[in-house]
Every structure is written in C-alpha cells, then in structure tokens.
C-alpha cells in the first residue's frame, strides 16, 4: 500500500489521510429521499391479503413431550425401585437423582400450565 519504505513520515501521512477518508465516508449520511418511492408503503399494504387464507392450528408438541418425559421418568423410577438398586451407593444416587428430576419436572409443568391459563 505504501511504496516508500525509506520514508516513514510519508507513510504515516498517507495512513492519516486514508483514515480521514474512511471516517469521512462512514460519517456521511446517505440520501434516502431519492431511493424510496413515495407510494412504496401503499403498494406494500395493497399486497397484504385482507383475510388470512391459511388455517393456523395451535399445536401442543411441547406439552405432549413434557408429559411423555414425565411418564418415562416415572417408569425408570419404578424399574429402579423394583430392581432394588438402592443397596449400592451408585443405585441410591441414581434413584435420588431421578426423584429430584421427576419432582422438578412435575413442578415446572404445573407452573407452566398455571401460566398458560
């Protein structure tokens, strides 16, 4: 960019001029009056349909998956209780972890259901 390696003052001056030109271009406001036609908003509003033509159905995928997850956690807890895994430290820790997850998930679902109504 700067050809004169022997003259650092000329390089510094050229860098300052380049910086000044960049700042000037960045600070210049664009002229928007000529770019946007006067009837632009009216044309866009005319293209919007008056009535919604597509039927929108409310889905409950999240609620369904929450219930399914709660059932899976309950089945896992029952399976662990029937197996008798509470005799070891790892089994006890796993059972308590699943219990805490089950309770936290049930409380969270209850709060979400309360907020949605």
Kindly tell me the burial class for residue 110, based on how many C-beta atoms sit within 10 Å of its own C-beta (0-12, 13-18, 19 or more): exposed
- Establish if 5 belongs to a structural domain: no
- Establish if 69 belongs to a structural domain: yes
For the full predicted model, state whether its pTM sits above 0.85: no
**Number of structural domains in the chain:** 1
- Establish if 88 belongs to a structural domain: yes
The range of the structural domain enclosing residue 79 comes to: 61-116
Higher pLDDT, 34 or 63: 63
* All residues at 6 or more sequence positions from 99 whose CB lies less than 8 Å from its CB, including other chains: 77
Instruction: Indicate whether 113 pLDDT > 80.
Output: no
Give per-residue pLDDT as tens, 64-83.
888 899 999 999 888 888 87
- Establish if 106 belongs to a structural domain: yes
Q: What average pLDDT does the chain have?
A: 83
- Establish if 98 belongs to a structural domain: yes
- Establish if 15 belongs to a structural domain: no
């Amino acid at each position: 960019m700067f050809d004169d390696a022997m003259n650092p003052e000329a390089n510094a001056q050229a860098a300052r001029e380049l910086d000044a030109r960049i700042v000037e271009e960045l600070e210049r406001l664009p002229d928007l009056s000529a770019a946007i036609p006067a009837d632009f908003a009216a044309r866009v509003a005319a293209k919007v349909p008056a009535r919604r033509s597509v039927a929108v159905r409310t889905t409950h995928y999240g609620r369904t998956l929450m219930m399914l997850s709660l059932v899976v956690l309950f089945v896992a807890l029952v399976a662990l209780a029937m197996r008798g895994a509470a005799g070891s430290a790892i089994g006890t820790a796993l059972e308590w972890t699943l219990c805490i997850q089950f309770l936290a998930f049930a409380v969270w679902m209850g709060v979400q259901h309360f907020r949605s109504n």
